[in-house]
Structure formats: structure tokens, C-alpha cells
Structure 1
């Protein structure tokens, strides 16, 4: 048994359903229901039209079955929708299930009003991208009608079946190779939005989840990556174009706490479309390789060993405490293992740097050789020890016969390395915060501590 009292607040849908033949059905989902969820996070219920015709307020009941077979449903009802639901995923799935000019009624949960301010707009925008007509039904309803003909292209959730096509698009746009192993490493806990056109994928915007410390509290953010449009559709960059709609759909699905590392041109493009606002800039720090620092020693750390994981956890705790007023990605042993030990394309080394006098751990440094340079991908250390750990990296570079060691940092934190006297270079990379959602939480993603390991491409 299930309650559908909100159906009576949607008279156009109720009237349309009442006019359907007696053997027609609708598909109904209820966020408050307790049955096993579909991949889109909602319960799939099959409701007979005759039962709906008997619906009477208040709190009238109708019997439901859990079958998903049978005829194609004529309409859909979604109720108690919160701002954690994905309009893109749910509406694209409904578009595949419903007939042409099928009806979709949305009832938005009042409890979601304190979340993302534009969450209602996101449902309407997702519907219009699919070509649906939209009628708002105050105070909390939206009535949609699927189009007579499918849209020329539309945003959708990426699936495993899309991996080869996304890899082809990546090669066409960036010239590199996105293997299935690399794709799964990036997106195992995340996802992406693709733009589909006639069986072809013409655009993509990916999202990699990242646990972050924001002013001392642990939160969840996403990094927008692999934002790409097929060269044939790059000229369609208006407000209704492929780039805009795909990126907007990704932010609406995975935001509002999102960040990325666009170059200046892509940053300016994102600003023109209302997606980004600048939060900081990236600078490159470079040191000459030197081998005359005898006050510290280093050894390789095996992040999978319990003893070494304890060392890494202690170093991370000290770093997090020093940066508790800022924003930084979590660098605990689990993340170090995922980011560096399990990377499918690169071999990284995690070193623990110790004082030769006391034997105490000063911090961790993660490195990888690139040509004649030692790239420092990450530091995990108390801030007071950063110059010493940087000098240890210089020593590692010299011991391998390399010319220099390099890293990235947020411009606002570059001064922390001043005692080690780095050369500072501008790599033309901006750190944006996402402002598309107009969510107060977006302002929290300012004041980043960053390193090359925070990106997906270094």
C-alpha cells in the first residue's frame, strides 16, 4: 500500500490519467518509500489506472505492484523529490520509458528548500534539454510532457558502455589516450555527463569525487575533469549549445562543491557562461638539484604496510591541523594509496623524510621522474617542515643525476616555501570555484592548498 495525497495537487496530470484507458498504467516513484531502489535512487512502482481513479483526499490509498514488466507506462509521477536527486539521470531514463507526449509530474519536497537554491530550476532545465514542455504547478509541482520527436542531442549520465566512445573523444580533443583502466581509476567513485547525438557522444564533462577539509570540517567536493567537445560542435557555444548544456548538466548533477584546473582560455570561457569565478592561481616552484643537505634522510614508504600507514596518518594529521582554517584535499593513507600506489599509468614513489639528529618524521614527499626533473606531486607535512622537505626533494633529484625538482602550489601559499628559495613560474592555470548553483556553500571552496597530485592529469 502507498499514499499519494500529493497527486490531487496536480489536477492536469490527474485529469489526463483519468482519461486513459482502464488497462493503462503509470510509473510512480516515491523518495519516502522503503523498497529496493533503482540505480537512479528511486522506487519503481506500477500503479493501475482504475486504482488511481478511486483516489480521494486526504491520505487515500491505492494498491501497488512491484512489477516493472508489461506495457510501456503512459505517465510518470515522482513525489517527495529532494535536492539530492539527479534530474539528468532520472528524466533521461523516463524519456526512454515513456511514449511520445507522455506525461511526467514532479512534486518537490519542501524539506529540500534549504539546499541548493536553484534545485527547482535544475529540474526544469533538465526537462527542456530533453525537449519536454513544462508547466509549473504552484506551490511544489511541475508537469512535463515528453516531445513528439526526440531532441537532436541531449545530456545523459555516462555509462560503462560509453567508455570506448569517451576514449575516442578524448584522443580527438586532447591527443592523448584514455584507456579503460585510466577511466575506471578516475571515475570508479564518480561519473560524468555526455551529450548524445544520434548514437554518437559529442561532448563530455567528468566528475571525480574528492573528500576535502573545509575550515576544519570534512566535506565532499568534485573535481570537474575531461571537459571536452567534439571539434565539429565547438562553434556551438551559445547558451543553448553543446558545451554550455553539458557543463551545466554536470554541475547541476555533481555540484555545487566543485573545482578544477582550467587554463586561462577555458577559465574565461567558463566565466562567460556563468560557471566559474576565480578563487586562486597556480604557480610552479622549481629548485636546482643539490646534494649538500645532510640534516635529513629519506626512505621509501610502503603505504600498504601498517607501520608505514601509521606514519602517513600522523603526517596527515599534523598537516590538517596546520591548515584547519583553509581548504585542502584529504591526504590520508587511503587517498595516498588510491592516487599514487594504484595509478594505472604512472609509478610514483612516496618518501618519508626524517631528521638525522632526532629521527623524527618531518613529512612525506611523493615524486615521479619527468625527463631531467623530479616532479614533486605531493607534500604531507606540518607547514614548519615544508622547507626541509623541499630540500630533501632537491637531494633526491641530485642523487639521481637530475637537474631540478619542480612542483605546483596555490599562489596564496607559495610564500610557505620561500625559505627554500624556489624559482617561481606562472603555468597559466587558474583555480576556479563554481558559482552556477548560487549556493552559499560554493564560497567555502576558496583558500585552497594545492599540489600537482590534486589534478587528474599530472
Structure 2
């Protein structure tokens, strides 16, 4: 029997399976009857020895519950038909920007279902309607082991993820590149397993943006992979749905770590995601090109090549350029492009060599723009730029000449459709490329309609460039 002073424990007492048996609990103040073998939940996080507990009790835990970690752990700890009993405060809805300390109840229940935990009882204990939260008693019974199991990507599984990447995209992602790409501590990857085989993976990389004039953090999806033998399973219980829905519920929207999700899916993935209500298309990346110029267009423009040795000295100039560009984009969404971003994204890339230049007037020394170039297979790609929007046409003329000095016949640029007019300058040619820009629609968050044609994005914003 449990001795207690908390009324919520009456519910636990009534629902606890009959003794004897192993009970795992987070609350050491509970006086369980001696006929139970009671183990501490925090110790269970460091041990995999118990697989036959009859119950796991989480009573008003002082730690923040990560639902994916909890269900992964409980799945392995509980015996068949064992019960998970929870008394905790959950959010009943989110309507404001900013990360909440609470889990959204509907997300929690959806994830429980994906782990084949059956909700046997849900009871509201107290409510706080103004703050959209309530204390609940929840009882789950463990069902059959799920055919497709979800988890976070563990460091020990990175090589398997790289193998899945190679099988999916038919080229190799190096370990060094993977570690650089997901270096941000807030990065995460959701995995799907069939027994011990990794069959699906979806990654996310945080990005600081100027969101209609306000600094926010969003997350960019990338490396969306499902084993070729499972790609035809497009139901709401299949691998793709499980990992994508879990990722969206974990990451995006009001009350979540990231305000929204964006990405660049292929056409098939875009249509599938719209069908499943994961994402909506909010724009397109278009490509333009120009012939290189053989003659310098202006004697008064000089170039300063930016590298890891001099970027600290040039950071004030770069940051001022960014502030000027940001002022032009107050009514849009644009990834922050300050000197620190330029350093980490381009100059510290582990595999690709980018050429970064500041343009300035020879006489006044006024900096007019920053450009990022990547030369490959005889084509010069303008990957990124930081400049006042009105100066883009003149800047392109200079870059066309620079393309010639880099032994390229044409200059190429990719830009979101909203800003295409700035690039339709003399001798331009529009190429066939048209890449969807996606924004999440799964949970409560900024309305995707408000983000249609709102993004400034270039090829440098794409994780695969």
C-alpha cells in the first residue's frame, strides 16, 4: 500500500497493478508497500538491466519530460501489459511565441499511440484556463512492440545514418561534414527503426532569422530519408509519417523550441507533405544566369577577399552591410547574415571552398556589398550576398566581370521568387530550376498564408549547398 498526503496518489493506488512486482518511480517520498520492489527512475536512465517492471510511476516530476526519451525508455523497461502512470501538468494549447516548459497534451498522447501505448484513463485534476494548462492523471498500458520504433539519433548510430544517406542519395556524406552541419547543440535528428535496422531519418538545423523585423529561431529540415523498401508505405502509421509528425510536434510552432520549420523538398516530397498536412508551399527558388563580362565595368570598384585571417578586422563593415540589408527586409523573413554567420557557414565549411569578397569604392572606401561565390565545373555560382537591395543590379555587373577573372563563362544565382525582379538585369536568362519552399502547417504557429512570398532565400540557405 502507498502512504501519502497528496490526493492525486489515490488514483495511482487504485491503478497500480497488484503486488508483487517491480515498480519504477521518480518520487522517493512515496512509501510503497514492501511487497513491491521499487527502483529509482533516475537510476533507470543509466541502466538497461530491468525489462520486466509492472509499472512506471511519474508523479509530478521535477525534471522536464522529453516525450520521445520517456517512451523510448518505458518501452524497454515495462513488461508486456505493464502500465505507465503519470501525474503531471500539461499544456492544453499554445498561442504565443516562445518555448514552453510544458508538453502539449495532444502531442504527448499522439506519441504514446505511435509507441503502441494504449490510453486507459485520462482525468483532469486541476485546471488553469488563462494559462492554457492543467494537471492530468494518465494511465497507459503497454501494447505490442511497435514495428517501427522512433528515437533520437545517438552518436553511436551516426555511421548507420551515413549509410542510409548514401543508399538514399547515392553519394557520400562524410563524418566531418555531418558533424559540421549538425554542430549547433539545438540540432536534432529523428530516426525510425525496424528491429535493429535504421530505415528512416529526418534532421533539423536551427537558423536565426529576422522574422518580419523580429529576431526569431526557426529550424530547417534536411536529410529526409526513408529506406527504399519502405518508401511506398504512405499511411499515417508508416515510417515517413511517424518520424515527420514526431519531428514537427517536437520542434515547431507556438510554445515549441522553434517558431516554424522551413525547407526545400523535392516535388514528390512537397506533394506528399501537403497531402499529409505537414507543409505548404510558400514560394519557389528560381535560377538566373548571365554571360561573364570581359571588361571591368567600373574603375572605382575594388575587391577585398575575406578569409579566416582578416574577417575579425572586417566584421564591423560586414555587420553594417547586414543591418542595411535587414532594414530593407523588415517586412520579410530572412536568415541573419552577419559576420559570424559568414565565418561559420562559408569560411569554416569542411569540404567546399567558397570565395567571399567585399566590394568597396576605391576613393571613398565605402563598402557596397558582400558576395559569396562557389566555382564548380566552369560555372560561377553567386551563393549569397549581403547588400542593400537597390544596389543588387550594379553588384551583379561587378560579379559578372569577376566570373570572367575566375575563368567562368557564365554567372548563376538562385533566389526566392519574391525578389526575382532585382535579378532580371541586362542579358539575364531564366533557367529551368524551380525548387519549392516549404513551411510547416502541422501544429499551432504562424499561418503559412502570412509567409507566402515572404522569404528571402538563396542557394546558400540550402543545407545541401
Q: Which residue of 2 aligns with 1:168?
A: 163
Pair 200,370 (structure 1): closer, same or farther in 2 beyond 3 Å: same
Counterpart CA distance in 1 for 2:383 and 2:427 is 18
Aligned partner (choices 289, 293, 297) of residue 302 of structure 2: 297
Q: Which residue of 1 aligns with 2:289?
A: 286
Q: Which residue of 1 aligns with 2:24?
A: 26
Aligned partner (choices 57, 61, 64) of residue 76 of structure 1: 57
Q: Which residue of 1 aligns with 2:235?
A: 238
Q: Which residue of 1 aligns with 2:358?
A: 352
Counterpart CA distance in 1 for 2:288 and 2:409 is 14
Query: Contact (CA 8 Å) 2:382, 2:411: kept in 1 or not?
Result: yes
Q: Secondary structure at the match of 2:81?
A: coil
Q: Post-superposition shift, 1:308?
A: 1.4
Within the alignment, does 1:448 sit opposite 2:455 as a pair?
yes
CA displacement, residues 360-416 of structure 1 (integer Å, 9 cap, x when unaligned) = 101100111011111111111111222222222211111122111111111011112
Pair 423,143 (structure 1): closer, same or farther in 2 beyond 3 Å: same
Q: Secondary structure at the match of 2:162?
A: helix
CA displacement, residues 278-301 of structure 1 (integer Å, 9 cap, x when unaligned) = 111110121211133124221211
Q: Which residue of 1 aligns with 2:131?
A: none
CA displacement, residues 98-145 of structure 1 (integer Å, 9 cap, x when unaligned) = 333332234453566335899322111111111111135233425343
Q: What residue ranges of structure 1 are gaps of 5+ in the alignment?
A: 29-44, 54-63
Counterpart CA distance in 1 for 2:199 and 2:41 is 39
1:5-44 alignment runs, 5 A limit: 8-9=7-8, 12-17=11-16, 19-21=18-20, 24-28=22-26
Q: Post-superposition shift, 1:267?
A: 0.7
Counterpart CA distance in 1 for 2:428 and 2:60 is 58
Counterpart CA distance in 2 for 1:323 and 1:126 is 38
Q: Post-superposition shift, 1:258?
A: 0.2
Within the alignment, does 1:392 sit opposite 2:371 as a pair?
no
Counterpart CA distance in 1 for 2:279 and 2:250 is 16
Aligned partner (choices 178, 183, 201) of residue 183 of structure 1: 178
Within the alignment, does 1:373 sit opposite 2:376 as a pair?
no
Counterpart CA distance in 1 for 2:34 and 2:392 is 67
Q: What residue ranges of structure 2 are gaps of 5+ in the alignment?
A: 125-134, 254-259
Aligned partner (choices 322, 345, 356) of residue 339 of structure 1: 345
Pair 366,206 (structure 1): closer, same or farther in 2 beyond 3 Å: same
Q: Secondary structure at the match of 1:109?
A: strand
Aligned partner (choices 307, 314, 318) of residue 312 of structure 1: 318
Counterpart CA distance in 2 for 1:337 and 1:137 is 51
Q: Which residue of 2 aligns with 1:58?
A: none
Q: Secondary structure at the match of 1:407?
A: strand
Pairwise CA RMSD of aligned residues? Answer: 2.9
Query: Contact (CA 8 Å) 1:212, 1:221: kept in 2 or not?
Result: yes
Q: Secondary structure at the match of 1:385?
A: helix
Query: Contact (CA 8 Å) 2:75, 2:142: kept in 1 or not?
Result: no
Pair 280,141 (structure 1): closer, same or farther in 2 beyond 3 Å: same
Q: Which residue of 1 aligns with 2:78?
A: 98
Counterpart CA distance in 1 for 2:391 and 2:17 is 72
Within the alignment, does 1:129 sit opposite 2:132 as a pair?
no
Counterpart CA distance in 2 for 1:52 and 1:436 is 47
Point out the more displaced range, 293-302 or 440-449: 440-449
Counterpart CA distance in 2 for 1:102 and 1:160 is 30
Q: Which residue of 1 aligns with 2:206?
A: 209
Pair 127,232 (structure 1): closer, same or farther in 2 beyond 3 Å: same
What is the TM-score of this pair, normalised by structure 2? Answer: 0.83
Counterpart CA distance in 2 for 1:286 and 1:106 is 59
Within the alignment, does 1:50 sit opposite 2:27 as a pair?
no
Point out the more displaced range, 86-95 or 405-414: 86-95
Counterpart CA distance in 2 for 1:274 and 1:365 is 37
Within the alignment, does 1:401 sit opposite 2:407 as a pair?
yes
Pair 147,109 (structure 1): closer, same or farther in 2 beyond 3 Å: closer
Q: Post-superposition shift, 1:442?
A: 5.4
Query: Contact (CA 8 Å) 1:134, 1:144: kept in 2 or not?
Result: yes
How many corresponding residue pairs? 426
Q: Post-superposition shift, 1:13?
A: 3.3
Within the alignment, does 1:225 sit opposite 2:222 as a pair?
yes
